[in-house]
Amino acid sequence: MLYKKIEDLTNNELNNLMERASDLMTVRDAVETILADVKKDGDSALRYYTEKFDKARIGAIEVTEDEINEAMTKVDPSLLKHLDKAASNIRKFHEAQLPRDKWFVEISLGIKAGQKTVPLRSVGAYVPGGRASYPSTALMTIIPAKVAGVKDVAMCTPPGTDGKVNPLTLAAAKVAGADRIYRLGGVQAVAALAYGTESVKPVDKIVGPGNVFVTTAKMLIRTHTEIDFPAGPSEILIIADETADPDFIAADLLAQAEHDPNAICVLTTTSEEIAANTQQRLEELADTTPRSEIVKEALQNAAILIGNSLDECIGFSNKFGPEHLEIVTADDEAVLDRIDSAGSIFMGKYAPVSTGDYASGTNHVLPTAGYTRLYSGLNINHFLKYSTIQQLDRKGLQSLSDTIITLAEEEGLYAHADAVKLRLKKNE
Protein backbone atom coordinates (compact mmCIF):
# COMPACT_ATOMS: atom_id res chain seq x y z
CA MET A 1 0.00 0.00 0.00
CA LEU A 2 1.31 3.41 -0.99
CA TYR A 3 1.34 5.89 1.92
CA LYS A 4 2.58 9.35 1.02
CA LYS A 5 1.95 13.05 0.77
CA ILE A 6 0.47 13.95 -2.60
CA GLU A 7 3.26 16.46 -3.23
CA ASP A 8 5.90 13.75 -2.65
CA LEU A 9 4.59 11.29 -5.23
CA THR A 10 7.21 10.37 -7.82
CA ASN A 11 6.33 10.55 -11.50
CA ASN A 12 6.29 6.77 -11.63
CA GLU A 13 3.93 6.49 -8.64
CA LEU A 14 1.64 9.15 -10.08
CA ASN A 15 1.58 7.47 -13.49
CA ASN A 16 0.73 4.10 -11.92
CA LEU A 17 -2.28 5.68 -10.21
CA MET A 18 -3.46 7.73 -13.15
CA GLU A 19 -2.75 5.36 -16.03
CA ARG A 20 -4.43 2.33 -14.55
CA ALA A 21 -6.37 1.10 -17.57
CA SER A 22 -5.88 -2.60 -18.26
CA ASP A 23 -3.63 -3.21 -21.22
CA LEU A 24 -6.15 -4.45 -23.73
CA MET A 25 -3.41 -5.24 -26.23
CA THR A 26 -2.11 -8.10 -24.05
CA VAL A 27 -5.31 -10.11 -24.61
CA ARG A 28 -6.38 -8.77 -27.99
CA ASP A 29 -5.15 -11.73 -30.07
CA ALA A 30 -6.92 -14.26 -27.86
CA VAL A 31 -10.12 -12.19 -27.87
CA GLU A 32 -10.08 -11.76 -31.65
CA THR A 33 -9.75 -15.53 -32.10
CA ILE A 34 -12.82 -16.21 -29.93
CA LEU A 35 -14.85 -13.49 -31.66
CA ALA A 36 -13.99 -14.90 -35.08
CA ASP A 37 -14.79 -18.48 -34.02
CA VAL A 38 -18.22 -17.55 -32.67
CA LYS A 39 -18.98 -15.49 -35.76
CA LYS A 40 -18.04 -18.45 -37.96
CA ASP A 41 -19.21 -21.49 -35.98
CA GLY A 42 -22.08 -20.12 -33.89
CA ASP A 43 -23.47 -22.35 -31.15
CA SER A 44 -20.74 -25.00 -31.45
CA ALA A 45 -18.12 -22.34 -30.65
CA LEU A 46 -20.20 -21.12 -27.71
CA ARG A 47 -20.35 -24.63 -26.26
CA TYR A 48 -16.65 -25.20 -26.86
CA TYR A 49 -15.53 -22.01 -25.11
CA THR A 50 -18.02 -22.43 -22.27
CA GLU A 51 -16.54 -25.84 -21.53
CA LYS A 52 -13.00 -24.51 -21.91
CA PHE A 53 -13.33 -21.44 -19.68
CA ASP A 54 -16.30 -22.15 -17.40
CA LYS A 55 -15.74 -25.92 -17.14
CA ALA A 56 -19.39 -26.43 -18.00
CA ARG A 57 -20.95 -28.62 -20.66
CA ILE A 58 -24.17 -27.01 -21.81
CA GLY A 59 -26.93 -28.26 -24.06
CA ALA A 60 -29.54 -25.55 -24.45
CA ILE A 61 -27.91 -22.14 -24.51
CA GLU A 62 -31.05 -20.20 -23.63
CA VAL A 63 -32.40 -20.64 -20.12
CA THR A 64 -35.93 -22.05 -20.24
CA GLU A 65 -38.97 -20.59 -18.50
CA ASP A 66 -39.18 -23.76 -16.38
CA GLU A 67 -35.62 -23.20 -15.16
CA ILE A 68 -36.42 -19.61 -14.27
CA ASN A 69 -39.56 -20.62 -12.38
CA GLU A 70 -37.63 -23.36 -10.57
CA ALA A 71 -34.97 -20.81 -9.60
CA MET A 72 -37.65 -18.56 -8.12
CA THR A 73 -38.76 -21.40 -5.82
CA LYS A 74 -35.18 -21.98 -4.66
CA VAL A 75 -34.58 -18.39 -3.59
CA ASP A 76 -35.47 -17.52 -0.01
CA PRO A 77 -38.66 -15.40 0.00
CA SER A 78 -36.92 -12.77 2.13
CA LEU A 79 -34.25 -12.42 -0.57
CA LEU A 80 -36.97 -11.94 -3.18
CA LYS A 81 -38.43 -9.15 -1.04
CA HIS A 82 -35.04 -7.43 -0.95
CA LEU A 83 -34.69 -7.85 -4.73
CA ASP A 84 -38.11 -6.26 -5.18
CA LYS A 85 -37.21 -3.34 -2.91
CA ALA A 86 -33.93 -2.69 -4.73
CA ALA A 87 -35.66 -3.05 -8.10
CA SER A 88 -38.36 -0.57 -7.08
CA ASN A 89 -35.79 2.05 -6.10
CA ILE A 90 -33.75 1.51 -9.28
CA ARG A 91 -36.90 1.78 -11.39
CA LYS A 92 -38.01 4.97 -9.64
CA PHE A 93 -34.63 6.67 -10.10
CA HIS A 94 -34.38 5.81 -13.79
CA GLU A 95 -37.98 6.83 -14.46
CA ALA A 96 -36.99 10.26 -13.14
CA GLN A 97 -34.29 10.41 -15.83
CA LEU A 98 -36.74 9.88 -18.70
CA PRO A 99 -36.84 12.77 -21.19
CA ARG A 100 -39.95 13.96 -23.00
CA ASP A 101 -41.05 11.72 -25.88
CA LYS A 102 -41.28 14.71 -28.19
CA TRP A 103 -40.87 18.47 -27.93
CA PHE A 104 -40.80 21.57 -30.13
CA VAL A 105 -39.43 25.06 -29.73
CA GLU A 106 -40.42 28.02 -31.91
CA ILE A 107 -37.19 29.30 -33.44
CA SER A 108 -38.98 32.21 -35.10
CA LEU A 109 -42.28 32.85 -36.84
CA GLY A 110 -43.09 29.88 -39.08
CA ILE A 111 -40.12 27.78 -37.89
CA LYS A 112 -40.38 25.00 -35.34
CA ALA A 113 -37.53 22.72 -34.32
CA GLY A 114 -37.87 19.78 -32.03
CA GLN A 115 -36.72 16.37 -30.92
CA LYS A 116 -38.26 12.90 -30.84
CA THR A 117 -37.04 10.23 -28.42
CA VAL A 118 -37.05 6.57 -29.45
CA PRO A 119 -35.84 3.54 -27.47
CA LEU A 120 -33.38 1.09 -28.97
CA ARG A 121 -34.96 -2.06 -30.36
CA SER A 122 -32.76 -4.58 -28.55
CA VAL A 123 -30.13 -4.58 -25.81
CA GLY A 124 -27.84 -7.23 -24.36
CA ALA A 125 -27.02 -7.03 -20.65
CA TYR A 126 -23.78 -8.69 -19.59
CA VAL A 127 -23.82 -9.83 -15.97
CA PRO A 128 -20.47 -11.17 -14.71
CA GLY A 129 -19.96 -14.39 -12.78
CA GLY A 130 -16.70 -16.05 -11.91
CA ARG A 131 -15.51 -14.94 -8.47
CA ALA A 132 -19.06 -14.12 -7.38
CA SER A 133 -22.59 -13.88 -8.73
CA TYR A 134 -24.01 -10.42 -9.29
CA PRO A 135 -27.82 -10.37 -9.24
CA SER A 136 -27.57 -6.65 -8.48
CA THR A 137 -25.97 -6.09 -11.89
CA ALA A 138 -28.92 -7.84 -13.52
CA LEU A 139 -31.18 -5.23 -11.91
CA MET A 140 -28.88 -2.35 -12.86
CA THR A 141 -28.59 -3.28 -16.54
CA ILE A 142 -32.06 -4.63 -17.34
CA ILE A 143 -34.35 -2.25 -15.44
CA PRO A 144 -33.13 1.00 -17.10
CA ALA A 145 -33.49 -0.61 -20.51
CA LYS A 146 -37.08 -1.65 -19.80
CA VAL A 147 -37.88 1.76 -18.29
CA ALA A 148 -36.55 3.35 -21.49
CA GLY A 149 -38.95 1.22 -23.51
CA VAL A 150 -36.56 -1.34 -25.04
CA LYS A 151 -38.78 -4.17 -26.23
CA ASP A 152 -36.14 -6.91 -26.36
CA VAL A 153 -33.64 -7.21 -23.48
CA ALA A 154 -31.40 -10.26 -23.32
CA MET A 155 -29.11 -11.17 -20.43
CA CYS A 156 -25.91 -13.21 -20.66
CA THR A 157 -24.24 -14.57 -17.54
CA PRO A 158 -21.74 -17.43 -17.05
CA PRO A 159 -23.04 -20.80 -15.84
CA GLY A 160 -21.58 -22.78 -12.96
CA THR A 161 -19.70 -25.99 -13.61
CA ASP A 162 -23.06 -27.79 -13.55
CA GLY A 163 -24.19 -25.73 -16.54
CA LYS A 164 -26.81 -23.87 -14.52
CA VAL A 165 -27.12 -20.17 -13.78
CA ASN A 166 -27.11 -18.97 -10.18
CA PRO A 167 -30.78 -19.04 -9.03
CA LEU A 168 -30.59 -15.58 -7.44
CA THR A 169 -29.26 -14.09 -10.69
CA LEU A 170 -32.13 -15.72 -12.58
CA ALA A 171 -34.60 -14.38 -10.04
CA ALA A 172 -33.12 -10.88 -10.38
CA ALA A 173 -33.39 -11.08 -14.17
CA LYS A 174 -37.05 -12.08 -13.92
CA VAL A 175 -37.81 -9.29 -11.41
CA ALA A 176 -36.02 -6.82 -13.72
CA GLY A 177 -38.01 -7.93 -16.77
CA ALA A 178 -35.48 -9.72 -18.99
CA ASP A 179 -37.01 -11.14 -22.15
CA ARG A 180 -34.33 -13.78 -22.75
CA ILE A 181 -31.51 -15.25 -20.66
CA TYR A 182 -28.46 -17.08 -21.99
CA ARG A 183 -26.02 -19.23 -19.98
CA LEU A 184 -22.99 -17.59 -21.54
CA GLY A 185 -20.08 -15.60 -20.17
CA GLY A 186 -16.81 -14.07 -21.27
CA VAL A 187 -15.83 -13.11 -24.79
CA GLN A 188 -18.11 -15.75 -26.27
CA ALA A 189 -21.15 -14.04 -24.73
CA VAL A 190 -20.18 -10.67 -26.20
CA ALA A 191 -19.63 -12.30 -29.59
CA ALA A 192 -22.99 -14.06 -29.48
CA LEU A 193 -24.85 -10.84 -28.61
CA ALA A 194 -23.01 -8.91 -31.33
CA TYR A 195 -23.14 -11.39 -34.22
CA GLY A 196 -25.97 -13.73 -33.32
CA THR A 197 -25.91 -17.54 -33.54
CA GLU A 198 -28.45 -20.31 -34.08
CA SER A 199 -29.66 -19.83 -30.49
CA VAL A 200 -28.81 -16.21 -29.74
CA LYS A 201 -30.46 -13.22 -31.39
CA PRO A 202 -28.08 -10.30 -32.07
CA VAL A 203 -28.72 -7.01 -30.29
CA ASP A 204 -28.18 -3.34 -31.11
CA LYS A 205 -26.20 -2.53 -27.95
CA ILE A 206 -24.31 -4.38 -25.21
CA VAL A 207 -24.06 -2.99 -21.68
CA GLY A 208 -22.54 -4.18 -18.44
CA PRO A 209 -19.18 -4.60 -16.72
CA GLY A 210 -16.59 -7.33 -17.16
CA ASN A 211 -12.95 -8.34 -16.88
CA VAL A 212 -10.21 -7.33 -19.31
CA PHE A 213 -11.31 -10.00 -21.81
CA VAL A 214 -14.95 -8.87 -21.81
CA THR A 215 -13.94 -5.20 -22.00
CA THR A 216 -11.60 -5.90 -24.92
CA ALA A 217 -14.31 -7.85 -26.72
CA LYS A 218 -16.77 -4.99 -26.27
CA MET A 219 -14.25 -2.51 -27.67
CA LEU A 220 -13.54 -4.74 -30.69
CA ILE A 221 -17.17 -5.27 -31.73
CA ARG A 222 -18.04 -1.56 -31.66
CA THR A 223 -18.07 -1.25 -35.44
CA HIS A 224 -20.82 -3.87 -35.45
CA THR A 225 -22.73 -3.32 -32.21
CA GLU A 226 -22.75 -0.30 -29.89
CA ILE A 227 -21.59 -0.57 -26.26
CA ASP A 228 -21.95 1.57 -23.16
CA PHE A 229 -18.32 2.29 -22.14
CA PRO A 230 -15.17 0.52 -20.89
CA ALA A 231 -15.88 -0.89 -17.42
CA GLY A 232 -13.10 -2.81 -15.73
CA PRO A 233 -11.98 -3.57 -12.16
CA SER A 234 -13.78 -1.60 -9.45
CA GLU A 235 -12.27 1.48 -7.83
CA ILE A 236 -12.96 4.01 -5.10
CA LEU A 237 -11.48 7.34 -4.09
CA ILE A 238 -12.40 9.01 -0.80
CA ILE A 239 -11.92 12.70 -0.03
CA ALA A 240 -11.87 13.15 3.75
CA ASP A 241 -10.96 15.79 6.28
CA GLU A 242 -10.52 15.60 10.06
CA THR A 243 -14.30 15.17 10.58
CA ALA A 244 -14.31 11.73 8.94
CA ASP A 245 -14.41 8.41 10.79
CA PRO A 246 -11.38 6.22 9.96
CA ASP A 247 -13.35 3.06 10.80
CA PHE A 248 -15.93 3.93 8.14
CA ILE A 249 -13.24 4.85 5.61
CA ALA A 250 -11.35 1.60 6.15
CA ALA A 251 -14.58 -0.39 5.80
CA ASP A 252 -15.38 1.31 2.48
CA LEU A 253 -11.89 0.79 1.08
CA LEU A 254 -12.13 -2.86 2.11
CA ALA A 255 -15.52 -3.19 0.39
CA GLN A 256 -13.98 -2.23 -2.95
CA ALA A 257 -10.87 -4.33 -2.39
CA GLU A 258 -12.92 -7.51 -1.97
CA HIS A 259 -14.28 -7.20 -5.53
CA ASP A 260 -11.14 -8.13 -7.38
CA PRO A 261 -7.35 -8.41 -6.92
CA ASN A 262 -7.05 -5.57 -9.46
CA ALA A 263 -9.43 -3.22 -7.60
CA ILE A 264 -8.09 0.26 -6.85
CA CYS A 265 -8.68 1.90 -3.44
CA VAL A 266 -7.48 5.45 -2.68
CA LEU A 267 -7.92 7.76 0.30
CA THR A 268 -7.03 11.43 -0.05
CA THR A 269 -7.17 13.34 3.22
CA THR A 270 -5.99 16.57 4.80
CA SER A 271 -5.54 14.81 8.16
CA GLU A 272 -2.42 12.81 8.97
CA GLU A 273 -4.27 11.32 11.94
CA ILE A 274 -7.11 10.07 9.73
CA ALA A 275 -4.55 8.66 7.28
CA ALA A 276 -2.61 6.77 9.96
CA ASN A 277 -5.70 5.42 11.73
CA THR A 278 -7.25 4.32 8.45
CA GLN A 279 -4.13 2.43 7.44
CA GLN A 280 -3.97 0.65 10.79
CA ARG A 281 -7.64 -0.31 10.72
CA LEU A 282 -7.45 -1.45 7.09
CA GLU A 283 -4.55 -3.77 7.82
CA GLU A 284 -6.48 -5.27 10.74
CA LEU A 285 -9.60 -5.83 8.66
CA ALA A 286 -7.65 -7.38 5.79
CA ASP A 287 -6.66 -10.29 8.06
CA THR A 288 -10.19 -11.06 9.21
CA THR A 289 -12.42 -10.49 6.16
CA PRO A 290 -13.83 -13.64 4.46
CA ARG A 291 -12.23 -12.66 1.13
CA SER A 292 -8.89 -11.94 2.73
CA GLU A 293 -6.76 -13.36 -0.08
CA ILE A 294 -8.39 -11.12 -2.70
CA VAL A 295 -8.35 -8.09 -0.38
CA LYS A 296 -4.66 -8.37 0.44
CA GLU A 297 -3.75 -8.60 -3.23
CA ALA A 298 -5.94 -5.60 -4.08
CA LEU A 299 -4.47 -3.53 -1.25
CA GLN A 300 -1.09 -3.74 -2.95
CA ASN A 301 -2.65 -1.32 -5.47
CA ALA A 302 -4.12 0.92 -2.73
CA ALA A 303 -2.93 4.38 -1.76
CA ILE A 304 -3.38 6.63 1.26
CA LEU A 305 -2.44 10.14 0.23
CA ILE A 306 -2.15 13.20 2.44
CA GLY A 307 -2.89 16.61 0.94
CA ASN A 308 -1.75 19.94 2.29
CA SER A 309 -5.25 21.26 1.67
CA LEU A 310 -8.71 20.19 0.54
CA ASP A 311 -7.96 21.96 -2.74
CA GLU A 312 -5.08 19.56 -3.34
CA CYS A 313 -7.25 16.53 -2.56
CA ILE A 314 -10.01 17.74 -4.89
CA GLY A 315 -7.51 18.45 -7.66
CA PHE A 316 -6.06 14.95 -7.34
CA SER A 317 -9.55 13.39 -7.43
CA ASN A 318 -10.53 15.27 -10.59
CA LYS A 319 -7.34 14.15 -12.27
CA PHE A 320 -7.85 10.56 -11.09
CA GLY A 321 -11.51 10.45 -12.23
CA PRO A 322 -12.73 7.67 -9.92
CA GLU A 323 -15.52 5.23 -10.62
CA HIS A 324 -16.83 5.77 -7.08
CA LEU A 325 -16.15 8.96 -5.11
CA GLU A 326 -16.97 9.39 -1.44
CA ILE A 327 -16.93 12.88 0.06
CA VAL A 328 -16.66 12.96 3.85
CA THR A 329 -15.87 16.51 4.96
CA ALA A 330 -17.24 19.38 7.04
CA ASP A 331 -18.87 20.86 3.90
CA ASP A 332 -19.67 18.10 1.41
CA GLU A 333 -21.76 20.36 -0.84
CA ALA A 334 -18.86 22.76 -1.36
CA VAL A 335 -16.60 19.88 -2.38
CA LEU A 336 -19.30 18.41 -4.65
CA ASP A 337 -19.58 21.68 -6.56
CA ARG A 338 -15.92 21.39 -7.55
CA ILE A 339 -15.96 17.77 -8.74
CA ASP A 340 -15.86 17.36 -12.53
CA SER A 341 -14.94 13.69 -13.05
CA ALA A 342 -16.58 10.89 -11.08
CA GLY A 343 -18.87 8.02 -11.97
CA SER A 344 -21.09 8.01 -8.88
CA ILE A 345 -20.71 10.32 -5.87
CA PHE A 346 -21.52 9.42 -2.27
CA MET A 347 -21.86 12.27 0.22
CA GLY A 348 -21.49 12.08 3.98
CA LYS A 349 -20.45 9.42 6.47
CA TYR A 350 -23.71 7.48 6.06
CA ALA A 351 -23.46 7.00 2.28
CA PRO A 352 -21.04 4.13 1.62
CA VAL A 353 -20.64 2.89 -1.95
CA SER A 354 -22.64 -0.17 -0.91
CA THR A 355 -25.82 1.95 -1.03
CA GLY A 356 -25.36 2.64 -4.74
CA ASP A 357 -24.22 -0.91 -5.40
CA TYR A 358 -27.54 -2.32 -4.30
CA ALA A 359 -30.49 -0.23 -3.29
CA SER A 360 -30.35 3.58 -3.36
CA GLY A 361 -31.66 3.51 -6.93
CA THR A 362 -28.65 4.94 -8.76
CA ASN A 363 -26.78 2.75 -11.22
CA HIS A 364 -23.63 0.85 -10.27
CA VAL A 365 -22.47 0.16 -13.85
CA LEU A 366 -19.85 2.88 -14.18
CA PRO A 367 -16.78 3.77 -16.25
CA THR A 368 -13.44 2.98 -14.63
CA ALA A 369 -9.75 3.64 -15.23
CA GLY A 370 -10.22 7.40 -15.56
CA TYR A 371 -12.89 7.12 -18.26
CA THR A 372 -15.19 9.26 -16.10
CA ARG A 373 -13.45 12.17 -17.83
CA LEU A 374 -15.27 11.09 -21.01
CA TYR A 375 -18.26 8.92 -20.11
CA SER A 376 -21.27 8.94 -17.81
CA GLY A 377 -22.35 5.92 -15.82
CA LEU A 378 -25.14 3.73 -17.18
CA ASN A 379 -28.33 5.77 -17.38
CA ILE A 380 -31.55 6.03 -19.30
CA ASN A 381 -29.87 7.81 -22.22
CA HIS A 382 -27.80 4.72 -23.02
CA PHE A 383 -31.00 3.05 -24.17
CA LEU A 384 -32.48 5.92 -26.17
CA LYS A 385 -31.77 7.64 -29.46
CA TYR A 386 -32.87 11.07 -30.56
CA SER A 387 -34.17 12.39 -33.88
CA THR A 388 -34.31 16.11 -34.48
CA ILE A 389 -37.37 17.58 -36.21
CA GLN A 390 -37.91 20.64 -38.42
CA GLN A 391 -41.32 22.05 -39.33
CA LEU A 392 -41.54 25.19 -41.49
CA ASP A 393 -44.29 27.05 -43.30
CA ARG A 394 -43.69 29.25 -46.36
CA LYS A 395 -43.01 32.38 -44.29
CA GLY A 396 -40.54 30.48 -42.14
CA LEU A 397 -38.63 29.22 -45.16
CA GLN A 398 -38.69 32.71 -46.68
CA SER A 399 -37.09 34.14 -43.53
CA LEU A 400 -34.18 31.69 -43.83
CA SER A 401 -33.84 31.65 -47.61
CA ASP A 402 -31.12 34.28 -48.01
CA THR A 403 -28.96 32.61 -45.37
CA ILE A 404 -29.43 29.10 -46.76
CA ILE A 405 -28.92 30.09 -50.40
CA THR A 406 -25.85 32.21 -49.68
CA LEU A 407 -24.12 29.55 -47.56
CA ALA A 408 -25.05 26.68 -49.91
CA GLU A 409 -23.74 28.47 -53.00
CA GLU A 410 -20.59 29.51 -51.15
CA GLU A 411 -19.94 25.80 -50.50
CA GLY A 412 -20.66 24.97 -54.14
CA LEU A 413 -23.80 22.99 -53.28
CA TYR A 414 -26.12 24.64 -55.79
CA ALA A 415 -28.81 21.94 -55.63
CA HIS A 416 -29.18 22.72 -51.91
CA ALA A 417 -29.87 26.34 -52.79
CA ASP A 418 -32.22 25.38 -55.61
CA ALA A 419 -34.33 23.24 -53.24
CA VAL A 420 -35.16 26.48 -51.42
CA LYS A 421 -35.53 28.69 -54.52
CA LEU A 422 -37.93 26.25 -56.17
CA ARG A 423 -40.34 26.28 -53.24
CA LEU A 424 -40.41 30.07 -53.02
CA LYS A 425 -40.96 30.52 -56.78
CA LYS A 426 -44.00 28.24 -56.84
CA ASN A 427 -47.34 29.69 -55.93
CA GLU A 428 -49.24 27.87 -53.24
Known binding residues for substrate: 234, 256, 259, 324, 357, 411, 416
Burial 273-305 (b: 16+ CB within 10 A, else e): ebbebbbebbeebbeebebeebbeebbebbbbb
For residue 48, report the phi and psi dihedrals to the nearest 5 degrees: -60, -50
Measured distance between the N- and C-terminal CA atoms of the chain, rounded to whole angstroms: 78
Sign (positive/negative) of CA torsion 178, 184, 188, 192? negative
224 tagged catalytic:
no
What's the per-residue H, E or C state across the chain?
CEEEEHHHCCHHHHHHHHCCCCCHHHCHHHHHHHHHHHHHHCHHHHHHHHHHHHCCCCCCCECCHHHHHHHHHHCCHHHHHHHHHHHHHHHHHHHHCCCCCEEEEEEECCEEEEEEEEECCEEEEECCCCCCCCHHHHHHHHHHHHHHCCCEEEEEECCCCCCCCCHHHHHHHHHHCCCEEEECCHHHHHHHHHHCCCCCCCCCEEECCCCHHHHHHHHHCCCCCEECCCCCCCEEEEEECCCCCHHHHHHHHHHHHCCCCCCEEEEEECCHHHHHHHHHHHHHHHHHCCCHHHHHHHHHHCEEEECCCHHHHHHHHHHHCCCEEEEECCCHHHHHCCCCCCCEEEECCCCCHHHHHHCCCCCCCCCCCCHHHCCCCCCHHHHEEEEEEEEECHHHHHHHHHHHHHHHHHCCCHHHHHHHHHHHHCCC
Name the binding residues for Zn(2+).
256, 259, 357, 416
Task: Report the alpha-carbon distance of residue 108 to residue 169 in Å, rounded.
Answer: 53
Neighbours of 342 (CB within 10 A): 24
Say which of 94, 226, 324, 364 is annotated catalytic. 324
Based on the residue annotation, tell me whether 324 is a catalytic residue of this protein: yes
Catalytic residue among 226, 235, 258, 323: 323
Q: Which residues are annotated as a binding site?
A: 126, 188, 211, 234, 256, 259, 324, 357, 411, 416
Residues that are catalytic: 323-324
